[in-house]
């Protein structure tokens, strides 16, 4: 957001931040110079030099020493930007101190006759890291000089401030406890965060790719989903996908390099397969990942009964078994007289494979044997059994 307020040329500023004589015609503070406004930074991560200048002049603010150079400018794909700044302690009149807080001024509502802001709207800088465990006279709860604004709090170690694309002169409000300790009100100051875009350098992170397959074990006839996502490198990623039977030498191309990052592969045989995923950035750098996938035969119920005729009082013995599918089989057994509509449950799904049924009458019976694998697929087989007197 541009800030339209007066940028004064202050002739003299006291060490505690009080304004001296001011010129009659101050310049306008817009937050962006004409040259910077033309900058359209591409999405990515950059290093850039910064400095903290006094509100009313181009002289460095005493708080400049608390900010490390270079800072990091991050531009997201949607065009939003932020600058991340590493903070350190500074010396003020021979005393060590830390920045207590930093706010970006988003709007100046009113100002005094010297064009010094008196009413503002701000957004707090996001604290990304803190100096955990670091106490001084101002934030230590046991200190007799504790500052109510920072007591019991850790000082910021890394801050993130939102910026517009090309914004190079940002009005900020800072609070420095060590300066407040010298004079009440002296710790709160306005300053200008200046971003030197002439020092902008892109940070090229190594190209990396995360990829995954929907499953490493599927049943023949089912499809496999393969997806990928690249990070780092020079952007503009494209993806390629290949597969082959493990025993084959040549690969089948599922997709040559393009921006599509997800494909579906349907194996043609129930064997072991190898899948290769590639990502490429605009510089031509390629990274790869491989996966092994087991394609199992379709689930088959191979259960059997030991006899299709038994005498009344004897048992119907069942041997449950299965092939294919994803393994981890469980079995259920149901039975009924052929003339009945309702099935009776002899065994709910269990890993038990030896089941016996003792019929209550001499009659014709139907037996249903179910097998279920770990994917939840079910295969059934039916038998007719005659129970004689």
pLDDT digits (tens, 9 = 90+) for 209-246: 999 999 998 889 889 999 999 998 888 999 999 999 99
Q: Please give the Cα distance from 293 to 310 (Å, whole number).
A: 46
The answer on 122 and 58 residing in a single domain is: yes
**169, 160, 167: which is closest to 123 by C-alpha?**
160
Domain final residue pick, 172, 202, 232 = 202
- Structure confidence at residue 127 (pLDDT): 97
User: Higher confidence at residue 307 or residue 32?
Assistant: 307
**377, 379, 318, 378: which is closest to 352 by C-alpha?**
318
- Structure confidence at residue 247 (pLDDT): 96
Measured between alpha carbons, how far is residue 135 from residues 64, 127, 221 in Å?
A: 22, 17, 65
Q: Is the pLDDT of residue 90 over 80?
A: yes
> Which CATH number fits the domain that encloses residue 247?
2.60.40.1080
Domain final residue pick, 187, 202, 217 = 202
> Which CATH number fits the domain that encloses residue 10?
2.60.40.1850
**48, 52, 104, 53: which is closest to 74 by C-alpha?**
48
Q: Please give the Cα distance from 297 to 271 (Å, whole number).
A: 8
The answer on 154 and 33 residing in a single domain is: yes
The answer on 364 and 336 residing in a single domain is: yes
- Is the Cα torsion angle 323, 326, 328, 333 positive or negative in sign? negative
Q: Which domain holds residue 130?
A: 5-202
The answer on 227 and 374 residing in a single domain is: no
The answer on 186 and 218 residing in a single domain is: no
Q: Is the pLDDT of residue 44 over 70?
A: yes
How many folded domains does the chain comprise?
Answer: 3
Q: Is the pLDDT of residue 92 over 80?
A: no
The answer on 61 and 160 residing in a single domain is: yes
pLDDT digits (tens, 9 = 90+) for 320-375: 999 988 889 999 999 999 999 999 999 999 999 999 999 999 999 999 999 999 98
The answer on 345 and 268 residing in a single domain is: no
Token couple for 119: 């009413």
H-helix segments, 69-203 = 177-182
- Structure confidence at residue 51 (pLDDT): 96
The answer on 93 and 25 residing in a single domain is: yes
- Structure confidence at residue 39 (pLDDT): 59
pLDDT digits (tens, 9 = 90+) for 156-177: 999 999 998 889 999 999 999 9
The answer on 377 and 336 residing in a single domain is: yes
- Structure confidence at residue 321 (pLDDT): 97
Residue 388: which residues within 8 A CB-CB, separation 6 or more? 309, 310, 311, 312, 362
Q: Report the percentage of the chain scoring pLDDT > 90.
A: 71
The answer on 238 and 113 residing in a single domain is: no
- Structure confidence at residue 31 (pLDDT): 52
Residue keyed to tokens 């770990």: 374
Strands (E), 220-326: 224-231, 238-245, 252-258, 262-265, 272-280, 286-296, 300-301, 304-305, 309-311, 316-319, 322-323
pLDDT digits (tens, 9 = 90+) for 243-276: 999 999 999 999 999 999 999 999 999 999 999 9
- Structure confidence at residue 40 (pLDDT): 61
Among 56-60, 112-116, 178-182, 300-304, top mean pLDDT goes to 300-304
Q: Which residues pair with 29 in a beta bridge?
A: 5
Q: Report the percentage of the chain scoring pLDDT > 70.
A: 90
- Structure confidence at residue 292 (pLDDT): 98
Domain final residue pick, 184, 202, 220 = 202
Do 238 and 256 meet the contact criterion of CB atoms below 8 Å apart?
no
Do 103 and 122 meet the contact criterion of CB atoms below 8 Å apart?
yes
The answer on 134 and 263 residing in a single domain is: no
Average pLDDT over all residues of the chain: 88
The answer on 190 and 77 residing in a single domain is: yes
């Amino acid at each position: 957001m541009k800030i339209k307020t007066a940028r004064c040329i202050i002739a003299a500023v006291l060490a505690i931040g009080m304004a001296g004589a001011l010129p009659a015609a101050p310049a306008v503070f817009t937050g962006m110079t004409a040259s910077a406004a033309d900058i359209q930074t591409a999405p990515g991560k950059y290093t850039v030099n910064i400095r903290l200048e006094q509100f009313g002049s181009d002289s460095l603010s005493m708080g400049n020493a608390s900010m490390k150079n270079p800072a990091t400018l991050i531009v997201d794909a949607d065009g939003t930007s932020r600058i991340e700044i590493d903070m350190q302690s500074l010396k003020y009149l021979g005393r060590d101190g830390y920045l207590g807080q930093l706010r970006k001024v988003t709007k100046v509502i009113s100002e005094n006759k010297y064009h010094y802001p008196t009413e503002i709207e701000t957004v707090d800088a996001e604290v990304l890291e803190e100096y955990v465990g670091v106490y001084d006279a101002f934030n230590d709860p046991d200190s007799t000089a504790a500052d109510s604004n920072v007591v019991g709090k850790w000082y910021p170690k890394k801050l993130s401030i939102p910026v517009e694309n090309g914004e190079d002169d940002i009005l900020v409000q800072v609070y420095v406890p060590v300066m407040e300790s010298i004079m009440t009100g002296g710790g709160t100051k306005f300053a200008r965060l200046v971003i030197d875009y002439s020092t902008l350098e892109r940070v090229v992170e190594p190209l990396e790719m995360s990829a995954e397959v929907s499953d490493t074990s599927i049943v023949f006839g089912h499809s496999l989903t393969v997806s990928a996502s690249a990070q780092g490198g020079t952007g503009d990623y494209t993806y390629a996908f290949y597969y082959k039977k493990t025993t084959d030498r040549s690969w089948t191309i599922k997709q040559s390099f393009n921006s599509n990052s997800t494909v579906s592969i349907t194996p043609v045989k129930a064997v072991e397969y190898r899948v290769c995923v590639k990502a490429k950035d605009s510089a031509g750098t390629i990274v790869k990942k491989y996966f092994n996938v087991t394609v199992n035969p379709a689930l088959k119920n191979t259960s059997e009964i030991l006899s299709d005729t038994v005498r009344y009082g004897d048992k119907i013995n069942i041997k449950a078994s299965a092939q294919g599918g994803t393994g981890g089989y469980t079995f259920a057994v149901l039975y009924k007289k052929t003339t009945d509509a309702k099935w009776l449950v002899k065994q709910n799904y269990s890993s038990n494979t030896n089941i016996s049924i003792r019929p209550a009458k001499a009659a014709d019976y139907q037996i249903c044997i179910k097998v279920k694998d770990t994917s939840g697929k079910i295969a059934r087989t039916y038998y007719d059994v005659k129970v004689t007197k």
